């Protein structure tokens, strides 16, 4: 059964944050956690079993772009190559409801990259609880939006996640209901940005 952790949305309790982070770091826990665009599944980037469990829960294929959810722009820059043209625009849009597809650096395990493009998704969410988790963890969370097979929207409520995925997860983090609208995805793997999905982030700033 998954452990249920109830965090305050504005002032997450440090003791509980540390417990969640210890489980992710030391026990390779797979968690469900709230973001500014619905719930997501998350684990350490080096957690092979966690990555495989995400694939099974979501029934993903090999073309799926995993996302590294980062604490800040400096951390994001460790995992992806950002051209001079992209640097200013991406920095201005973060934190926020955007996911950027960019060429991965050697810091990213190959199993997390797109198999042909060698790219990976990155984002910096605008959510207090996620920032607290990432600050304590000291590395990104390998993540995928919690959209179950056959559905189109992410989960928005922690209790609902626990009821449906109690035996598939290790921890469910709840901090109140969140919106379900997904991030806007911008593919910047080439020189020109391409809006791959329109979500809650304003896409016009990346339209050429």
pLDDT at 114: 82
Tokens found for residue 161: 């996640």
Note whether 109 and 45 are within 8 A (CB).
Answer: yes
The model's pLDDT over 154-175, given as tens digits with 9 standing for 90+, comes to: 999 999 999 999 999 999 999 9
pLDDT, residue 96, reads 93
Q: For helices 14-26 and 128-137, give the axis angle rounded to 10 degrees.
A: 50
Q: Find out whether 154 and 177 touch, Cβ atoms under 8 Å.
A: no
The predicted pLDDT at position 117 comes to: 85
Residue 14 host element (H or E)? helix 14-26
Is the CB of residue 128 less than 8 Å from the CB of residue 12? yes
The answer to whether residues 9 and 128 touch, using CB atoms and an 8 Å cutoff, is: yes
Stretch 117-130: mean pLDDT: 94
Half-sphere exposure of 58 (CA within 13 A, CB side): 26
Residue 91's SS3 state is helix
pLDDT at 116: 82
Question: How long, in residues, is the chain?
Answer: 208
- 164 DSSP assignment: H
How much is the pLDDT for 24? 98
CA 55, 56, 58, 59 torsion-angle sign: positive
Q: Mean pLDDT across the stretch 54-65? A: 90
CA 21/CA 155 separation, integer angstroms: 22
Pairing mode of beta strands 31-35, 38-43:
antiparallel
* CATH class of this structure's domain 3-206: alpha beta
- Residue 98 — pLDDT band, cuts 50, 70, 90? very high
Q: What is the pTM of this model?
A: 0.94
Confidence of residue 208 (pLDDT cuts 50, 70, 90): low
Average of pLDDT values for 66-82?
A: 95
Q: What is the pLDDT of residue 190?
A: 87
- Tokens representing 183 are 């991030």
Q: Is the pLDDT of residue 177 over 80?
A: yes
Which value, in Å, is the radius of gyration of the alpha carbons in the chain?
16
* Beta-carbon-side half-sphere exposure of residue 39 (alpha carbons within 13 Å): 27
Q: How far is CA 8 from CA 3, 14, 63, 88, 110, in A?
A: 16, 10, 36, 33, 36
Distance of alpha carbon 30 from alpha carbon 150, whole angstroms: 22
């Amino acid at each position: 059964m998954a452990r249920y952790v109830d965090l305050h949305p504005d002032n997450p309790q440090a003791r509980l944050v540390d417990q969640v982070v210890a489980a992710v770091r030391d026990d390779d826990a797979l968690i469900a956690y709230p973001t500014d665009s619905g719930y997501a599944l998350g684990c350490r980037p080096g957690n092979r079993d966690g990555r495989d469990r995400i694939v099974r829960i979501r029934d993903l294929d090999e073309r799926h772009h995993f996302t590294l959810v980062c604490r800040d722009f400096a951390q994001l820059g460790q995992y992806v190559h950002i051209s001079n043209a992209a640097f200013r625009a991406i920095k201005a849009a973060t934190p926020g409801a955007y996911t950027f597809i960019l060429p991965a650096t050697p810091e990213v395990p190959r199993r997390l990259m797109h198999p042909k493009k060698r790219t990976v998704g990155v984002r910096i969410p605008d959510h207090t609880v996620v920032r607290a988790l990432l600050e304590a963890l000291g590395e990104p969370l390998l993540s995928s939006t919690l959209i179950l097979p056959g559905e189109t929207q992410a989960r928005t409520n922690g209790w609902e996640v626990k009821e449906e995925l109690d035996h598939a997860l290790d921890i469910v983090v709840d901090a109140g209901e969140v919106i379900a609208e997904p991030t806007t995805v911008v593919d910047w793997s080439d020189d020109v940005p391409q809006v791959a999905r329109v979500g809650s982030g304003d896409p016009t700033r990346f339209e050429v």
